[in-house]
Structure 1
Amino acid sequence: MKKYLLYIVCFICLTSCGDFLDEYSQDLVVVKTVEDLDEVLLGDVYLPNKAPTAFLSSSFVSWLNFLDDDINTVIYRRGGDKWISTKWLYGYTNWLQEIGASVDGSVTIASDGSPWVETYYRINVINVILNELKNIDLDGEADELAALRIQGECHFQRGLFYFFLVNLYAKAYQPESADETLGIPLKLSSYVENEFHRNSLKEVYEQVVTDLTLAVDELTRSPQSNPSFRASRESALLLLSRVYLYMQDWENARKTANEFLQSKNTLVNIASLAADQCFMNKNNEEIIFSQSSQTLVNVLTAEGGDFCVSRNLYNLYDDKDYRKKLYFSENVSTDSIALNRKYSKKKGEVTPSDGFTMRVAEAYLNMAEACAMLNDAEACDWLNRLRRNRISEYVDMQYSGEELVDEIRNERRKELCLEGHRWFDLRRYAACVKYPFKKEIVRVFAEYSQDNNYKFNTAKLFRLEKDDPAYLFRIPASVREYHEDMPDNERRVRKAFASVDADGNLIENE
């Protein structure tokens, strides 16, 4: 792909050896047409979708689904030849102070820059594109519509990226304190700024809402021709409804979700899927947007030394729930739960992302949650509509109050599991003014000997407490070194509180 930029793209490059405002140089080719900017947008803003090969090789957010309570590791006393996968995620999945730390104390994953550097890079490319659109000579109506569509895509992506970053590096949104809570830096111009600071949480969310509102308008006036793989009016509306949920703005969440559902409401009847067909496939008519890749099928095998689906999640599904057998399968040798046909296991096949996919089912859940928080009787109706397409012989249920909210939250966990939602949902549930929910998570991390055929050695137990500081990532060290006055997020040193030895004995640490 040709890379066109009018001038050097100066972006917030936060590498371990560079300053906070290092310069990044692209090919210096003058932008001449709208098509040139469209190529930059596609090549340097959208996250590439690749067929997964090795874990962590195709997505800078591969670890997002390994932070929450939907996964665990496998204890297999006959050996664990898959241990290399879990070792790479040791610091992430056990919520350590150094997220890139490995079992032996070394750092195996660059923890200082990504996802900060990856995301801010794309944000600054967006800023350049938006600025250059003002300077392009538009040749007729077709060019004008193309420019408007590009604007819409840029505003959507900037809103999405800031929403993603603020949920990694800042506290969950609470309306009464958002204007006093530290968010993340907002970069909205295409030039280098010497001063950079953390904007308030309220300012960041207001910018996200502004960007997505603009995207809805622009992509309504210039519709997207390829909506599943590029931003569209529908994807902007769906994301906006999610953002309002996070802000506890239930009225706007309901209004926006309803607007989406007026134009897009088709659900897949899982019972109609062929025996060898995966759910998250490129032809799934529920999927309205996807970017980036998925790597879960490589590591959620439930084999020795690998990750498995938590029993806590698996046991939520009724036996008549089609998703139970479609999403999961039991590994006979380990008695652990593996990922089955939610994503494709065919080698080399490109499938929707496990972190940046949006689909219609979420709109049903957003609508149900917003209605429930507003004491709107339609909440049960939206929940029941979804379940009719997921559960055999389903009989509509009626709930109210906190029980209804709990049912919707559990349904959200079941429906959207392993799609990058759960970690962020746990954060916002804990901050919810009405019906707050907090839980303690215990991770069992199995370790294997590398010099003895990967024989099981021990399993360390780590605890993520309610309101744990580890729900926030630390600001990268290179940022703090360049901007000494930029406040960091607390993230304490964490050690295993107990372990299980090769004979199955539980040993509590002092």
Structure 2
Amino acid sequence: MKTDMKKYNGKTILIALVTLLFVACDDNLTINPEQDITTEAAIKSPSNIKKILNNAYGDARASSNYGGGIALASELIANQGELYWDGTYVQPSQYDEKAILKDNSFVESLWLRAYKISNQTNIILNNLDVFKDASDKAITQGEAKFLRGLVYFDLVRLFSKPYIAGSVNSQLGVPIILEPNLDPAKITFPSRNTVEEVYKQVLLDLTDAYTALPASNGIYATKYSAAALLARVYLQKGDIVNARNMANIVITGSGATLASTFAKAFNNAENSTEDLFAWQVSSQDASANDFNVFWAGEDFGGRSGNPDISIEDEHFDIYDDSKDERANFFYEADNICTTKWKNQYGNIPFLRLAEMHLIRAETNFREGTAIGLSPLNDINKLRDRSGADLYTTVNLTTILMERRRELAFEGFALFDAKRLKQNIGSLSYNANNLILPIPLRETDVNKNLIQNEGY
């Protein structure tokens, strides 16, 4: 995926204007090539709308968000001694210490980038009438809604108290903005929607994406990417039946297969057989891969000396079989590193088939069902792939431990702790300091934005 990565310089989340550069040069003698176009021209053709869409993918893949920033926040905020932050940046150390400041620049970048993506997708969705081909229009709509649903899902998980199944969920979420903004003179100042409202919008977008997208779409989002993300969303909100059903749809219909070994699921220049969606990285834009920056040793693109994040002895207690490839998926670079993020030019797996087996196993167990496979057989598929001894029986504890072994260091830690109502050290799962602050620059400009408690 080739994208034009632009730095976001808007004043608020509402000034997330799209900057597109198009080089129009018909011959080598042109000395004044046109490099930009008007707003009206940018949205008047399908090809230009697709450029905006491609840019939205690139912004999502940026290091501040799905290129490592969101996972960094999740893993360090949830850390209870399994990880050691040894980086020079102060901002991630605030995650690790659960003492995040309102002016934390990592938090600010994450928020701004997410709303830039939201605005780009709003521009796309508001200008679909330029498409004459119905199929092309549907795919573009589906991809835009996939990205918009994705960013609001993670915004609400990071900046709000957890969703509680069976509750009203009137706690403050994040502002939902569904109209595009192309004119900084027409900004508004939204207040925060409730968590319930945000989840409703996320599910609406992803359900529409699932309906509109094709089964195959190259490196871009597909029907099964949307289904897999829906399974993740349903699991997070405690909708066990829908999480199970969507995971089963992915497993039985996507055509994806588990990589033959655990190692083959990571550090790939091309998508693996189990990737339902992966963020694309190349040697031209490897700076977008902050997984590698923070988690790898110097010889593999990490910083000089110790890795920013090293794996501590406490982590290895989760493995129950020394033959398990996952228990040995580490290397030493002064300190211990995970091998998951060893290739700075490798794609970043985001939705893996292995996660769907874990979701189906957990939800089948909770419901006392065996849709697709029994929980035991789903878990044993992963254990067999990693070379661990197979289980003869499973319970909820063993299923959740398998999830920790399989998905370690991929950004699930905080979100799993919250949905499972597991305390983090001495902190309750819904403690104020396990939630990111609304960035100071946003509350300074927009007085309708209520800051999170504790900040």
Question: Which category describes the TM-score, using the shorter chain as reference length?
Answer: 0.7 to 0.9
Q: Which runs of 5+ in 2 are unaligned?
A: 20-36, 281-287, 298-304
Q: 2:266 aligns with which of 275, 279, 289?
A: 279
Letter in 2 for 1:68: A
Q: How far apart are the structure 1 equivalents of 2:18 and 2:331?
A: 48
Q: Counterpart of 1:28?
A: 38
Mapped contact 1:45–1:123 kept (Cα < 8 A): no
Offset, 1:187: 0.8
Q: How far apart are the structure 1 equivalents of 2:261 and 2:345?
A: 21
Letter in 2 for 1:242: R
Secondary structure of the residue that 2:386 maps to in structure 1?
A: coil
Q: Which moved more, 1:202-211 or 1:418-427?
A: 418-427
Q: Counterpart of 1:63?
A: 72
- 2:449 maps to 1:486: yes
Offset, 1:304: 4.7
Offset, 1:14: 9.0
Q: Which runs of 5+ in 1 are unaligned?
A: 4-12, 75-82, 101-108, 431-436, 441-462, 493-510
Offset, 1:485: 4.0
Q: Counterpart of 1:92?
A: 95
Mapped contact 2:83–2:315 kept (Cα < 8 A): no
Mapped contact 2:18–2:52 kept (Cα < 8 A): no
Letter in 2 for 1:234: Y
Q: How far apart are the structure 2 equivalents of 1:359 and 1:374?
A: 23
> Structure 1 residues 338 and 316, CA, compared in 2 at 3 Å: closer, same or farther?
same
Q: How far apart are the structure 1 equivalents of 2:157 and 2:100?
A: 17
Equivalent pairs counted in the alignment come to 406
Q: How far apart are the structure 1 equivalents of 2:67 and 2:265?
A: 20
Q: 2:205 aligns with which of 188, 211, 221?
A: 211
Q: Identity of aligned pairs, percent?
A: 25
Offset, 1:467: 3.8
Offset, 1:128: 0.8
Offset, 1:177: 2.6
Q: Counterpart of 2:84?
A: 73
User: Normalising to structure 2: TM-score of the pair?
Assistant: 0.80
Q: 1:131 aligns with which of 113, 126, 130?
A: 126
- Per-residue Cα deviation, 1:259-290 (whole angstroms, up to 9, x for no partner): 1111135112227x6xxx77341342111212
- Per-residue Cα deviation, 1:344-385 (whole angstroms, up to 9, x for no partner): 34xxx52122xx711100100111111122122522221122
Letter in 2 for 1:73: Y
Q: Counterpart of 1:197?
A: 191
- 2:419 maps to 1:419: no
1:343-422 → structure 2 map (5 Å cutoff): 343-345=341-343, 349-353=344-348, 357-377=350-370, 378-392=374-388, 394-399=389-394, 404-422=395-413
Q: How far apart are the structure 2 equivalents of 1:384 and 1:56?
A: 33
Letter in 1 for 2:134: E
> Structure 1 residues 48 and 351, CA, compared in 2 at 3 Å: closer, same or farther?
farther
> Structure 1 residues 20 and 125, CA, compared in 2 at 3 Å: closer, same or farther?
closer
Offset, 1:408: 1.7
Mapped contact 1:14–1:21 kept (Cα < 8 A): no
Secondary structure of the residue that 2:423 maps to in structure 1?
A: coil
Q: 1:300 aligns with which of 295, 299, 305?
A: 295
- Structure showing greater radius of gyration is 1
Q: Which moved more, 1:473-482 or 1:316-325?
A: 473-482
Letter in 2 for 1:343: W
Secondary structure of the residue that 2:402 maps to in structure 1?
A: helix
Mapped contact 2:437–2:452 kept (Cα < 8 A): yes
Secondary structure of the residue that 2:210 maps to in structure 1?
A: helix
- 2:177 maps to 1:187: yes
Letter in 2 for 1:114: S
Mapped contact 1:245–1:253 kept (Cα < 8 A): yes
Q: Counterpart of 1:320?
A: 323
RMSD, matched Cα: 3.1
> Structure 1 residues 297 and 19, CA, compared in 2 at 3 Å: closer, same or farther?
closer
Q: Counterpart of 1:438?
A: 423
Q: Which moved more, 1:22-31 or 1:413-422?
A: 22-31
More helix by share: 2
Q: How far apart are the structure 2 equivalents of 1:122 and 1:352?
A: 20
Letter in 2 for 1:214: D
- Per-residue Cα deviation, 1:45-82 (whole angstroms, up to 9, x for no partner): 443758x9xx99965546333333275227xxxxxxxx
